[in-house]
């Protein structure tokens, strides 16, 4: 096995793509970037890996489509933006992966789906069936119906729920940061990058405090929260910077990232869950 290739150990990946990667500051889709990412995904699939995408970007695309220029959207405005933007987002994914003869399926999730057993089992079966048919499920939160109290609000934690639901070996969070630092690097020049986190301790959680980027809702805090959900269920997590072209190929070539080790094997995690 190629020691450099961060993705080599995994057969089923959930990959979360942040809004700031897919949509530029003018609210336009970064189509060339998406085309390169799609070829990375096609290469992973050709190597026998199953891929589930959790894609943000609906609100960011929809606000420009609807001409909503205010800085802070009201809940109603962001729900309308998500509704318009989700169509553009799924079309972009279908086209980008379609060029590699990969079919996409869209699934929009609300928290009850990951928390209520019947919905959970149903969503899981649909995703497994799509994977079995060689398709790539594209998942987002159903922002246009989720209410303020009943929503994830950030796709970091949503993607961790999805990864554990489908028993992915690894969750990859692609955003504009290349991993976890001992302190927020923008504020502390002495901050050190951590290549590996064996266990999410209170000290690790304390390192995560820090601001989100211009479009994303999460920040390092929601990423470490996602790490807790994933690693407790036996899923590894990688945080990597995705802003440059071919971010998955870069990970396979040894680009800097932070790897969070699973806390248990997935079999142990399942036993604990049943008990
Ligand atoms: N679901 C939101 C969207 O598609 C993104 C949430 C997030 O940024 O994590 O616009």
Query: What are residue 105's phi and psi, to 5 degrees?
Result: -125, 140
Band of pLDDT at residue 169, cut at 50, 70 and 90: very high
Instruction: Tell whether the model's pLDDT for residue 7 goes beyond 70.
Output: yes
pLDDT per position as a tens digit, 175-205: 988 999 998 888 888 999 999 999 999 999 9
Instruction: Tell whether the model's pLDDT for residue 215 goes beyond 50.
Output: no
pLDDT per position as a tens digit, 120-139: 899 999 999 999 999 999 99
For residues 136 and 142, what is the distance between their CA atoms, to the nearest angstrom?
Answer: 18
Band of pLDDT at residue 214, cut at 50, 70 and 90: very low
Instruction: Tell whether the model's pLDDT for residue 75 goes beyond 70.
Output: yes
Measuring from each residue's beta carbon to the nearest atom of ligand 1, which residues come in under 6 Å?
Answer: 19, 56-60, 82, 140-141, 143, 154-155, 216-218
Query: For residue 252, what are the CA distances in angstroms to 2, 4, 40, 185, 272?
Result: 9, 7, 10, 25, 32
Interval between CA 241 and ligand 1 midpoint (Å): 17
The residue whose CA is least distant from atom 6 of ligand 1 is: 154
pLDDT at position 136: 98
Mean pLDDT, the chain, integer: 91
């Amino acid at each position: 096995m190629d020691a450099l290739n961060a993705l080599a150990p995994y057969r089923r990946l959930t990959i979360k793509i942040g809004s700031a990667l897919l949509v530029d500051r003018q609210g336009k889709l970064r189509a060339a970037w998406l085309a390169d990412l799609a070829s990375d995904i096609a290469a992973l699939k050709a190597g026998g890996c199953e891929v589930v995408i959790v894609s943000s970007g609906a609100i960011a695309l929809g606000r420009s489509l609807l001409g909503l220029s205010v800085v802070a959207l009201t809940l109603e405005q962001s729900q309308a933006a998500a509704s318009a933007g989700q169509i553009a987002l799924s079309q972009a994914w279908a086209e980008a992966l379609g060029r590699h003869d990969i079919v996409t399926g869209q699934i929009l999730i609300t928290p009850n789906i990951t928390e209520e057993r019947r919905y959970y089992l149903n969503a899981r079966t649909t995703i497994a069936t799509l994977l079995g048919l060689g398709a790539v499920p594209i998942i987002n939160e159903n922002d246009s119906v989720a209410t303020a109290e009943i929503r994830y609000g950030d796709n970091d934690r949503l993607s961790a729920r999805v990864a554990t639901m489908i028993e992915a070996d690894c969750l990859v969070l692609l955003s504009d940061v290349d991993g976890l630092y001992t302190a927020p690097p923008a504020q502390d020049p002495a901050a050190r990058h951590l290549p590996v986190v064996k266990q999410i301790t209170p000290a690790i959680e304390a390192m995560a405090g820090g601001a989100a980027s211009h479009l994303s809702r999460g920040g390092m805090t929601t990423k470490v929260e996602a790490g807790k959900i994933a690693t407790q269920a036996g899923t590894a997590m990688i945080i990597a910077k995705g802003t440059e072209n071919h971010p998955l190929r870069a990970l396979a070539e040894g680009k800097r990232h932070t790897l969070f080790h699973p806390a248990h094997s997935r079999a142990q995690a399942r036993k604990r869950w049943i008990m």
